[in-house]
Amino acid sequence: MAVLVASDLDRTLIYSAAALALTMPDARAPRLLCVEVHESRPLSYMTETAAGLLTDLGDAAVFVPTTTRTRKQYQRINLPGPAPEYAICANGGHILVDGVTDPAWHARVLARLADECAPLDEVRAYMESTSDPSWVRKHRVAEDLFVYLVVERELLPADWVKELAVWAENRGWTVSLQGRKIYAVPKPLTKSAAVREIARRTGAELTLAAGDSLLDADLLLAADRGWRPGHGELADAGWAAPAVTALPERGVAAGERILREFLKECR
């Protein structure tokens, strides 16, 4: 039976130094493997145990990294194990096949966004006009598909994200707060749509998924079985679904547990 495993990366399988500090318990530190370097600086890690499990998973299933990262940001990552044939970037805006964008899929995404959502420029302008430089560090447009801000969480007004979410809802967009980033993403731009397309192409009979953020909820709901770690937006919100297991583990320990669960299902 062909199994497709679609997993979020950041704070699910891989962790920045900041994420390690937030989620790693005070027990003995695990041995870490650096999986991302940018401008000569190590950025992201997974445990050596998780690296071994991911290598095994690559041999047992169609493993599809599924991320909100842009293509450029994703391609900085060097995951252990066989190079994935498929990857999903920009929250479903791009399907990569052997590292190259599938233009037909991207065109389908763009057509749907044009039909169903307010223009990106309108959302970007609204976020810039209502945010405050005292707590915004960066304004970013990702792949001409969605917008995000990098903010100082301790200075962020309590109601600003909620007010933005209400404004965006009426224009076909959704808002998500992940760590120091506030994302505004068109509703049709989903990881789940891209995963369904890859499942169709590969003939997968079983789809497994994992993720920690609100942008992963549709992915988890679309899978036959899913897992979420004990940290992140979904955990903070107490989010649950019948086919999704809420794990108690947090941080890199959750990454290891998720990979073990994937392998158990594949076998």
| pLDDT tens-digit series, residues 164-194 | 999 999 999 999 888 889 999 999 999 999 9
In the prediction, which pLDDT does 29 show? 72
How far apart, in whole angstroms, are the C-alpha atoms of residue 63 and residue 52? 14
Average pLDDT over the chain, rounded to whole? Answer: 95
pLDDT (tens digit, 9 = 90+) per residue, 113-153? 999 999 999 999 999 999 999 999 999 999 999 999 999 99
| Domain architecture of the chain: domains with CATH | 3-110+188-266 (3.40.50.1000), 118-186 (3.30.1360)
pTM of the entire predicted model: 0.94
Residue 227 vs residues 8, 9, 69, 247, 266: alpha-carbon distances, Å: 11, 13, 20, 7, 14
Which SS3 state, helix, strand or coil, does residue 115 take? Answer: helix
- Terminal Cα distance for the chain, rounded: 10
Measured in degrees and rounded to the nearest 5, phi and psi for residue 28 equal: -55, 130
Mark the ranges of the chain whose per-residue pLDDT is less than 50: none
In the prediction, which pLDDT does 267 show? 85
| Backbone CA torsion sign across 229, 233, 234, 239 | positive
In the prediction, which pLDDT does 158 show? 87
